Structure 1
Amino acid sequence: MADTPTLPPPLDPREKPILESLMRVRDELTLLKTDRTTYVKSSDVIPLYDRVVDQVKLLNEIRVDKPQETNQVDRILDGCFQLLSLFFMTIGRNNEAPAAYALSSTIKRLLDHLTEVDLYSAKDLVHISSTLENLRAIVKNAEDKYSPKLITLLSNRIEVCQGLLSNLQNRLNRLGGDLPKIYEKLISILRSISLANTRSKFSTSEVQQLQSQAKEIDAQRVDGRFMSASGEVPPGNQEVCELLNKCLSWSAIVLERKGEMPESFRDIYQVLVGIRNKLEKLSLTQAWSLRETDLYDYQRQLDKIDESRVDGNFVDAEGNFAELYVQRTLLYLIRRSYAYIYYLMVSSEPVSEALLPVYNQLQTLRRCLIEVKNSGGVSSPRELYPYSMKLNSIDNMRVDGKFMVGDDIPEGQGSVNDLLAECFELSYDLRVAAETENDSGES
């Protein structure tokens, strides 16, 4: 989270050394995050995590009679846990409780935004529901390994997210007949218009095509209402009609404005477009270029901008509220960026960054071998020679069955070894199939 002057300093003098200690830990985590000369190890992260937990214990003792108090200590503590959580992903310990902290924060942000705008699809909710189930299992399995305070905090966060998710699911259940399909299509059109609106080069034809799709849906209405096959008005008709009208009006506004942002909001717009574009690029090259802790800086920027809104509205330097076009455009960029962060966290592999180069090579080999198998296999075992050479070279990197980096055994050995074994099995099956084919042909 971004540091902000809105939270007061601690009133209790006993909290001051805790604040100073947490700030030192946060500075050390920040330095570790920016150091690209070596990979991050568990031995770098765990001592810092232990120091934060020690400070949490002290803080809880001081606040035993005032558990609801919130000040700068809480803000710095959140930053420490956020960074530590991303570090746990970086070292490949994704399935341990601390790693759930950052992901639960991002899910809460996403659900808050979906609730605020009331524009979301069933697909959005299905994926988030599955992720929450995974987090719940991770936290439950960690009850004997981590601080009870951390477990309670994470459990409460997950249940808050579950409550928001259930409300959103109930709101979608109001739609009857064929309306869910129409609703999903309209959500897709609306998002596509917003994407076109924020491209570096505005395309009038693209938005006009999307507008035409909305008009085709509009043509399905009878006297302004959607009708079922039996001639009845299905439940949720009014909501879907409102969404359709929003699509039509938004397309008209976007075609009129052509991506031009007023001068007073141009700076924040450029910042948000820059964040969105960088996160989009990361989502395409994640396996080779992402260190999960990189997401922290994007989160901080987004949180700061998101929290700067007044009653949900963006305000310029002179205190003027943003008009509808500006408001919707900026909110779209914020929400899209949070969605990318969520995707990048969920896609993070439980493998230390030290092993990622090997893991990524094996992922590529696996995809190639599956593609060869699906396209009919090989005509001769010799065709598998390049794959076998690469697999053997990776296998020879192991020492006593482990991938070592110096004297260190990085996290994620099981995942890498399982993938290596799967590649060997695929290669073996292809070779046997080729030999059998050749033998039957000779006979």
Structure 2
Amino acid sequence: MDSPAVPAPLDPREQPILDRLLRTRDALLLIKQDKTSYIKSREVLPLYEEVISEVEQLNAVRKEKDRRLPHNRLDYVLDDCFQLISLLFLTVGRNNEAPAVYSLASTVQRLLDHLQEAGFYSSKDLSSITKTLANMRATLERCRYAYSPALLTLLESRLEKCQLLLEKLQSGLAQLSPELVSTYETLVSILRSTSAVNTRSKFSASEVNSLRDQLQKIQDTLVDGKFVGPDGQPLPGHDHAKILLERCWLWTEKVLEREGKIDERFQEQYERLVEIRNQLDRLSVTQAWSLRETDLFGYQRKLDRIDEARVNGNFVDAEGQTADIHAQRTLLYLIRRSYGYIYALLISSEPVSEALLPVHNQLQTLKRCLLEVKESGGVANSRELYPYSMKLNSIDNMRVDGKFYVGSDIPEGQGSVNALLAECYDIVWELRAAVPEEDDRN
């Protein structure tokens, strides 16, 4: 799990802290790996307290040190512990509490770093992250007096870094003329679509050529090599758009030339990243029924280690030689795509314990079906609502004193599941109320 290049702690006072954190991490991993029963808050909270205790001791040790010192093994193990605790909080349905923020904040920072490195991104990339950062800050503010100041300080520092980087990226897009925004976002989409074709199991030259046709249409709008407005003057930001257009041409040409084949020196890394990307893609499709948030830890760590193994931003082979432009961009695309999947899975996590997810998912499906019936014009008679009513009643009958029990436990997420149940009842009532009156007389 730990990179061999990570140094051990230099300060002997840090070694006992590392030893204790290693034991805590092992305990967290055991909880994560146990699929025989659902995870409970009472299993996670004592381990969270252990980690916080070690953080406070570590802060005391490092109080007078230079904070710019490189991370050692202790920092990486501590990060593992916080990542696991964060994902465990999500798994038990405590999404709106401070520890749950850690994993998402780490993923957002990775995404922003990669967007800055790529240099080309769309407003859609930033709008979701803007909303997510606001939600995370609201969570920290709400939990200010419920959790350790050591945790809150750590999370606030991370969110501040994300905010500064986000504002820097937003200022880059702000230089574009409004007339150029649509074209620019199309170019970003073409660049990414080309990379997607480049990493498919079966390469399709026709798809790349279709993307090049789109590029030609954009190229044809240039006047004397410039993006110009109605007055014939170059639009603000046209240089940036022109560079992106040229990059798209060069990348589609390179991809057609290589036909999806990567430099054999990086074949192993490529296959590992393709497998991670594909597994996360499958998870995103079946998420509601198969995702246990703690499962994301393994993907995060594999990606982090591959990402951190780069030298000055470049992938290098066993002999220290850098990758060519095709391998470099292909591997980076796969890493970024995978982080994007993890981000999407994290933000769509429901504040419901995994113990209640089967009921929650059934109600979500039932709600979707009822809304489709409503949008298609309702029902012809009340008998058509019997299957929905019977299913709702069967779920409702699972409650005891208004609560869903699993054994003797009352899992987190009761409010969310009860609210969903009430919504379904309301839709059924609306549909029944809209049945023609003559049906009632029959």
Which residue in the other structure is 2:252 paired with? 251
Query: What's the CA shift string for 1:289-342, capped at 9, x where partnerless?
Result: 000011110011101010111111100112111000110100000000000000
SS at match of 1:24: helix
Which residue in the other structure is 1:414 paired with? 415
State the Cα distance separating 1:422 from its structure 2 match: 0.3
SS at match of 1:434: coil
Q: How many residues align?
A: 440
State the Cα distance separating 1:251 from its structure 2 match: 0.7
Q: How does 1:32-43 map to 2 (within 5 A)?
A: 32-43=31-42
Which residue in the other structure is 2:237 paired with? 236
Which residue in the other structure is 2:7 paired with? 8
State the Cα distance separating 1:232 from its structure 2 match: 1.2
Q: How far apart are the structure 1 equivalents of 2:372 and 2:414?
A: 26
Q: How does 1:215-364 map to 2 (within 5 A)?
A: 215-364=216-365
State the Cα distance separating 1:133 from its structure 2 match: 0.1
Cα distance change of structure 1 residues 67 and 153 upon mapping to structure 2, 3 Å threshold: farther
Residue 57 (str. 1) matches residue 45 (str. 2):
no
Query: What's the CA shift string for 1:38-71, capped at 9, x where partnerless?
Result: 0001011111111111111221222222262542
Q: How far apart are the structure 2 equivalents of 1:177 and 1:378?
A: 47
Q: Quick one: which amino acid aligns to residue 81 of structure 2?
A: C
The TM-score, its normalising length taken from structure 1, stands at 0.97
Q: Quick one: which amino acid aligns to residue 387 of structure 2?
A: P
State the Cα distance separating 1:262 from its structure 2 match: 1.7
Which residue in the other structure is 2:398 paired with? 397
Which residue in the other structure is 2:434 paired with? 433
Q: Quick one: which amino acid aligns to residue 5 of structure 1?
A: P
Which residue in the other structure is 2:25 paired with? 26
**Structure 1 gap ranges (5+):** none
Which residue in the other structure is 1:127 paired with? 128
Q: How far apart are the structure 1 equivalents of 2:370 and 2:178?
A: 45
Q: How far apart are the structure 2 equivalents of 1:231 and 1:324?
A: 36
State the Cα distance separating 1:241 from its structure 2 match: 0.6
Q: How far apart are the structure 2 equivalents of 1:325 and 1:212?
A: 21
Query: What's the CA shift string for 1:387-418, capped at 9, x where partnerless?
Result: 00100000000011000001111000000000
Q: How far apart are the structure 2 equivalents of 1:254 and 1:185?
A: 19
Q: Quick one: which amino acid aligns to residue 433 of structure 2?
A: V
Residue 383 (str. 1) matches residue 384 (str. 2):
yes
| RMSD across aligned positions (CA) | 1.2
State the Cα distance separating 1:146 from its structure 2 match: 0.3
State the Cα distance separating 1:436 from its structure 2 match: 3.8
The TM-score, its normalising length taken from structure 2, stands at 0.98
Query: What's the CA shift string for 1:265-284, capped at 9, x where partnerless?
Result: 10000000000000011001
Query: What's the CA shift string for 1:179-206, capped at 9, x where partnerless?
Result: 1111000001111110011000001111
State the Cα distance separating 1:437 from its structure 2 match: 6.2
State the Cα distance separating 1:435 from its structure 2 match: 5.1
State the Cα distance separating 1:12 from its structure 2 match: 2.7
Query: What's the CA shift string for 1:200-224, capped at 9, x where partnerless?
Result: 0001111110111011100110111
Query: What's the CA shift string for 1:330-373, capped at 9, x where partnerless?
Result: 00000000000000000100000000000000000000000000
Residues 40 and 353 of structure 1 are in contact (CA less than 8 Å); yes or no, is this contact kept in structure 2? yes
Which residue in the other structure is 1:46 paired with? 45
SS at match of 2:13: helix
Residues 177 and 228 of structure 1 are in contact (CA less than 8 Å); yes or no, is this contact kept in structure 2? no
Q: How far apart are the structure 1 equivalents of 2:123 and 2:11?
A: 47
